[in-house]
Structure 1
Amino acid sequence: MARTPVLAAGGIVLRREAPPRFAIVRLRKRNEWVLPKGKLDDGETPRDAAEREVLEETGHDVEVHEFLGTLVYDSGGRSKVVHYWRMDAGGKPVRALMSDIREVDWLPLDEALDRLSRGYERVFLENVGPIALQAAANAERERRTRLRVAAAERRRAQPAEQEPAAGAPVIAGARAADPAPVRPAVTPEYAAADAGEVAGREHVVEVTAPEAPPSSAREIAPIAAVVQPTPRKNLIERVRDWLRRAA
């Protein structure tokens, strides 16, 4: 009569490093290096058992991801069926190792394969290890994509900067409360006019530039020259004056 197989579960546990590292544990009694795993408790699902056993044997909290495969082998005259999931380990251990485990080590895939004591576990990890690495790389790319999308959405959600009204002058650094700029001196010059000329020719305006470059925004405000007109005689009065001098 065939004996009932032993049901167990474990993890292909990765830690995010460069390169990623796999967890293997050293048994206290047999002094063997094996993949972390353990038997199911009564009423426990294989996935829950895998997460619990990995925590107890490695001391790390883990995130459980996709199912990777099942390893079946003979153990003490009975078949042992072990289901494995890909897992990500946290950065630091959160509890002490269980009494059956002497130590845990984190190794790149090639070194982990060389360290494992049991041939069937080496063959299993040799097949599912690259799958776990590829799945972890894909998950990391998706995580970075989500972060970029979220950052772009946050930027779009920010209110746009208020634009100035159409036609309003824009002066860098100027403030509404700034006092009016100091006006430069303006010197009008007038040409002499006789009776046949039109009084009040165009004025010549000279604007003196500042001796030093502007030190603030208020000094670069537009300069508006103010010309004070010179009083002029009425044209009829000037003709009468000319006739009196000519008499």
Structure 2
Amino acid sequence: MARTPVLAAGGIVLRQAEPPLVAVVRLRKGNEWCLPKGKLDHGETPRAAAEREVMEETGHDVAVHEFLGTLAYETRGGPKVVHYWRMEAGHTPVRELMRDVKAVDWLPLGEAVERLSRGYERAFLQQVGPMAMAAANGLAQVDVSIDRAAEPRRVETSRDFQPWPRSLMQRMRDWLRRAV
């Protein structure tokens, strides 16, 4: 029997600069760098959870824009599904970081991709980051150069990662239709 996935939401958070900067957070637990995100509270919509979690983890008020995609992966506790929106943050924080977060760094896209600890988050940001940058600049397409000097780079996944069973994929599709 497949476990019900943990539902979470977060953001690809941009701050205006030249070049634009992307937020990555360093967690105290595991000392890992990741994209800002967190679990939905009971009755909370994914978009509302994304806004709340990003504010808690970065300390910045954010403007939430278009939906960018979903990342699904396996954790020790079972499957996790995270929905991401493009967000824009102001230059100064409005609150202290939650205690689970050790630090926030604002980096150009290529450096943000490299900083992330998890291979699946690196791959996700490498794919949707240029689209988020283009949308933030009001462009249909933009050439955002990611430092490719380190390529080819193997994207690592959890060694116990298994493809999703059909029944779980169908439940996630049904949930997405209702939630987004």
Please report how far the alpha carbon of residue 90 of structure 1 lies from its aligned counterpart in structure 2 after TM superposition.
1.2
Shift of 1:91: 1.7
Q: State the partner residue of 1:213.
A: none
Query: Distance in 2 between the 1:81 and 1:66 partners?
Result: 18
Larger radius of gyration: 1
Q: What does 1:1-247 correspond to in 2, within 5 Å?
A: 1-138=1-138
Unaligned runs of at least 5 residues, structure 2: 140-180
Q: TM-score, normalised by structure 2?
A: 0.76
The total of aligned residue pairs comes to 139
Alpha-carbon distance, 1:77 to partner: 4.5
Query: Which amino acid in 2 is paired with 1:21?
Result: L
RMSD, matched Cα = 0.8
2:120 match: secondary structure: helix
Percent of pairs with identical residues? 73
SS at match of 1:134: helix
Aligned to 1:159: none
Q: For residues 225-247 of structure 1, what are the alpha-carbon distances to aligned partners after superposition, in whole Å with 9 as ceiling and x for unaligned?
A: xxxxxxxxxxxxxxxxxxxxxxx
Runs of 4+ more than 6 Å apart: none
Which structure has the higher relative contact order (CA within 8 Å, separation 6+)? 2
* Structure in which a larger fraction of residues adopt strand: 2
Once the two structures are TM-superposed, the CA of residue 17 in structure 1 deviates from its matched residue by: 0.4
Per the normalisation by structure 1, the TM-score is 0.56
Q: Distance in 2 between matches of 1:68 and 1:3?
A: 25
Specify the SS of the correspondent of 2:18: coil
Question: For residue 107 of structure 2, what is the amino acid of its counterpart?
Answer: L
